[in-house]
Structures are given as structure tokens and as C-alpha cells.
Amino acid sequence: MKIIKIFISSVQNEFSQERNMLYEYLSTDALLGKFFEPFIFENLPAKDQKADEAYLSHVKKSDIYLGIFGKNYGYENKDGFSPTENEYNFACKENKTRLIFISNHKSNERNSKELALIHKAENEVIRKKFSSISELRTLVYASLVNYLEEKDYLRTVPFDASICKNATFDDIDNERISEFVALAREKRKFPLPVSSRPEKVLTHLDLFNDGKLTNASILLFGKNPQHYFISSEIKCVQFYGTEIVKPIPSYHIYKGDAFQLVDQAVDFVLSRIDARVGTRNKSNAVPFDYEIPRSVVSEAIVNAVAHRDYTSNASVQVMLFKDRLEIWNPGQLPDKLTLANLKFSHSSIPRNPLLANPLFFAGYIEKVGTGIPDMLTNCKLAGLKEPDFKIDDAFKIIIYRAIQITGQAAPQVSGQVTPQAAPQVTPQAESIRRVVLVLKGELTRAEIQELLKLKDRKSFIANYLNPALESGFIEMTLPDTPTSPNQRYHLTTKGKRFKTKLNKEIKQE
């Protein structure tokens, strides 16, 4: 197999982190590592040869010139050229494949010579802009996969980058794309405006190529992803005890796009574990925490959705037991990542980069390579046993509940506690109690949902808001116009009596 050499170039005092990330990523990725051998000037051995000459000799040996252009131009030689521009010019002279990635800065922020170099590159080669190190990695990934296809080195592209056969823009939910852009701008300063055409957004995310939709585009923004990928659903099950035995109090199969799947599965877990309602000592907002921190539940489920093997006929499974939460993911760890180093900060090597990148932009993935370590830290802060990770026919994350440590109910903290519903108390009754406990004054649907740390709007309305309304514990401020944007909810007299009773019961525990 031919090894394809890549020369990674940028101004020496700029993009150091990006250069090292790309070097490690291209060296260790299960797919790209088989084909590419990267070079960065940090790895140049010390010897008598002049640095400029050494770099150009590596450009000559390379098959691909990968340039990262930003704000700075770098030091200039006697002819007024920086090493980066010399390397680019030499790559052009040698007819090397040139891949140019430009930082998302404004023109007036760039050195005038750097701006001139960018304009020159724009006129000669295809270039792409990036706003973060994560986005740069995804863009490089997509470009190199495309290179392998064009050179016929790769006949089968990765699942998320593959074209979804027979899919058209009629399969795409344009409203979901607009919602994503708005959220991504808020969370990660996504560069495109909310008014952007769906085609432009998907093209920017490398989800729409040559007029065709990728598998990732359908999984992320499809109206019905399961029409094309039937196993992309999530199965959520609750058991009374510590084993997989009947009767099963709750079993749901969730469908939808990747964002909806995560939201629905996380809300399933949160509605069935212990919840704590704190006091308003520090603010008027009601602090509401869960036995297992929401961030821990979300991280585990996002990992399963983002990193699973979508060619498998198996689905992601979320199983809640009396003593633990298990998330099963039909997939394996990347070759260079072991269970031992999984617990420490590590390079992010996503199985499906084009799927993971929008999840990062929307805030579902917080940081690159720190998700599992953060999960361990948050479990420790919550007084929970350290999670376990196992690999057999699936990758499993096991998160222990408080009862596993103490043999008793979850330890109480200052404030009020709503105990997890026992078998005789239905999840719906517990949901009503939680709404009643957090509701003070008049609040919107979104405000109540935010207090309970729930994300899936449809699930919240069906399982929390409507039951509380139908039971007569809360009511609308505008009952004649239920869909009014000015709609608020408040406790009824019945609801206030119930809340008083709940508070008394909690104080006696």
C-alpha cells in the first residue's frame, strides 16, 4: 500500500495546537493512519541543513501540501517572503495536491501579506474556512477521504461520509436545520446566519457533496432517519431490580434525528431517577438536581449516538436498573484507544466525525477528548462510584446509582428531595410532583422545562405538562388561546395544597 506523505504548513508561532492535533490524528486514526504519513516542522531533527531548505525538501517528498492560513504572515527572508509562502509556492511549482484551510478571521484582522497569500490561494485551489480546532479536524478528514476516493485508494468511504442512496432534499427537515444554526451560533459562534439556505449549511458541514446528501445529513436533519437506517433508534428500558427480568415497568423505542434521540433518551432516564429540589437561598431560581448528574447521563448517551457502528443491525440500548444505568453501543474503541487511557484526557478519534461535529456545534459534545474524564469527575462530585467501561459484543458504559454505594436511597443534600417513584407510583405521578414542586408564580413552558433540565419539548409536554394540567394541579393563564406565545402556567388551589403537603412530607424525611 502506498504511503501518502502530507506536509502540514503554517506560520511557526500560530496554530501550534492545530498542527500537533492533525499530526496525532492522522497518525492514529483507524482509517487515515493506514494511508497518510504527516510531517510538521516540530519533528525536524536538528542538523546543519538550513531550516528553510529542510522544509522545502520535505515539501518535495510529500504528495500533499496542507496549509493552515490565519492572521500572521511570519518572519520574512531577504526577498520578503515568509517560509509558509515559500512552501506554498514550491508546492505549486512541484504540482503537489494543495489543501488550504483558512481561519475564520475578518480581513482587517490579518497581516496584509497573509491576506494577499490567502487571495492567491483562493484563485488557485479549493480552500475551506474553519472556526475551531474541532471543525478543522472534520474538514481535513472530509478532504482526505475525498482525496482517497479520487485517487481510487478508497473504494468504500466511511459510513457517515457515504452518499445516502435515493435521499433527496424532501427528506431534510429545514426547520430542524434553522433550529440547529440558532443553537450552534449561541453555543459555538457558528459562522453562518440563521437565514442561511439549508444547502449552504449542509455544504458548510460537509454533509452535502456534489448535489448528494450524505448518511450523516439524514441522521442529523432527516424527517425520518429510520426510513433509511432502521437500527438508528434508541431502546430505553427500566427494570425494578438489578437483573434483566420481567415485569418491565417502562419500555420505549425512540426514533428521530440524532439530537432528538439524545434528548428523548436523556429525559427517559431523568424522569426515572431520584431528583432533588433545593432551596432559593442564593437566587429566585429553583435548583433542581438529579441523582446522576444530567451531564453524566447526556455524555454517555451522546457518546453512544455519535460513536456507534451504524452498519450494525443492533441499536443503542439504555437500561436503568435499581443500582445502575447501562448504555450499550454497537461499536468498538478506535485502535489506538484502550479502556485504560479512555479515563484520561485523550485525542478525540470519533468513529463518525461528520456526525459528531454538528453535535459539538450544538453543545451536545462539550470538549474534544475530555468527555469521559469529565464524566468521571462529575460522578465523584455527586458521591457516585466511578463508572465502568466494558467491551464484548458492544461497548458498554456502566454508571452506578447512589444505592450501589450506601445500600440506601440517594444521600440527601440540603433542600428538598423528591424520592424516586416506587413500583406502586407511576412515572406520570412522579412527573406531576416534580412540576408542582418547581412551579412558583407564573412560568412559561420553556422555563418549567429548563428548571427540570429536560430538553425534548414533545416529551416534556406529553409526560409532564399535560398530565399536570389534566390532573388539575396547574392551569394556563390564557386557557382560551393555549398556543399563545404569551402563555404561562401557575398552580391551582388544588396544586398549592398538594405542594404544601409534599413539602411537609419532605421535611419529615
- Grid cell digits, residue 210: 456534489
pLDDT tens string 48-79: 456 678 889 999 999 999 999 999 998 888 88
pLDDT digits (tens, 9 = 90+) for 412-430: 333 344 444 333 456 678 8
pLDDT at 90 over 90: yes
Query: CA-based angle 434:440:441, to the nearest 5?
Result: 145
Contact call for residues 130 and 357 (beta carbons, < 8 A):
no
The three three-digit cell numbers of residue 490, written as one number:
401557575
The pLDDT, as a whole number, for residue 344 is 64
What is the per-residue pLDDT for 405? 42
Number of Cβ atoms within 10 Å of the Cβ of 210? 6
Residue 338's pLDDT is 61
* 374-403 CB burial, b ≥16 within 10 A, e <16: ebbebbeebebbebeeeeeebbbbbbbbbb
pLDDT tens digits along 370-401 = 678 889 999 999 999 999 998 877 889 999 99
The phi, psi pair for 58, rounded to 5°, reads: -75, -35
pLDDT over threshold 80, residue 473: yes
Question: CA 67, CA 62: separation in Å to the nearest integer?
Answer: 13
For residues 327-332, give the mean pLDDT. Answer: 86
CA distance 445 to 464: 10
Radius of gyration of the chain from its Cα atoms, rounded to whole angstroms: 26
Name the least confident of 275-289, 358-372, 404-418, 466-480: 404-418
CA 372 from centroid of its chain's CA atoms: 13
What's the pLDDT band for 347 if we cut at 50, 70, 90? low
Cell of 257: 434525528
Q: How far is CA 44 from CA 54, 63, 314, in A?
A: 8, 18, 46
| H/E element, 130 | strand 127-130
Instruction: Enumerate domains of the chain plus CATH numbers.
Output: 4-157 (3.40.50.450), 161-229 (no CATH), 231-406 (3.30.565.60), 422-508 (1.10.10.10)
The β-bridge partners of 458 are none
Q: How far apart are CA 85 and CA 88, in angstroms?
A: 5
Q: Which residues, 6 or more positions from 152, have their beta carbon under 8 angstroms from its beta carbon? A: none
Task: Report the range of poorest mean pLDDT among 19-28, 142-151, 170-179, 399-408.
Answer: 399-408
Q: What is the pLDDT of residue 415?
A: 38
More confident residue, 440 or 405: 440
pTM for the full predicted model: 0.68
Please give the residue that has the higher pLDDT: either 229 or 286.
229
Buried b / exposed e over 149-172, threshold 16 CB at 10 Å, is eeeeebeebbbbbbebeebeeebb
The predicted structure's pLDDT at residue 155: 62
